[in-house]
Amino acid sequence: MGLQSKHKVDASFSMSSMTDIIFLLLIFFMLTSSFITPSGLPVNLPSSETSDIVMQEVTVTVTKDLRFSVNDKVVTREEIKGELTSLLQDKKGQVVLHIDKSVPVEYLVEIGGIAASLEANVSIATVPFK
């Protein structure tokens, strides 16, 4: 009696579908990680209860040694208003302040006031509590 099956089961495993899935995950994470842009100058941000991520149209960075930059372009304190004016022409934008926690509050108020006078929404970048 010939009870052997005519269909042989192939025990090999094809990795091509697994590599497709890994490749798609890699693309997904690369694209989503580019939406969070760190500032160009190193700053030690203050902590807060909630730390929301907002789309950063314009970033203003102030380091502890009082170096200023607007969108990673190093500027002087006097040039900040001109840079913000040119970047926020005829639109309401989002300005995110990356200010080191050791910088005096007067700089935060000054830059926030400039952005608010240009009718921009002002946010302060923070890190969440650990």
* Strands lying side by side in the sheet with 58-62: 73-75, 68-70, 58-62, 94-99, 121-124
Sign of CA dihedral 126, 36, 80, 62: positive
Count of positions (residues) in the chain: 130
Condensed to tens digits (0 to 9), the pLDDT of residues 22-38 reads 999 999 888 877 665 55
- DSSP H helices in 1-130: 16-33, 80-87, 105-117
Q: Where are the domains of the chain?
A: 47-128
Report the Cα 106 to chain-centroid distance in Å: 25
User: pLDDT, tens digit, for every residue of 79-91?
Assistant: 888 888 888 887 7
Architecture of domain 47-128: 2-Layer Sandwich (3.30)
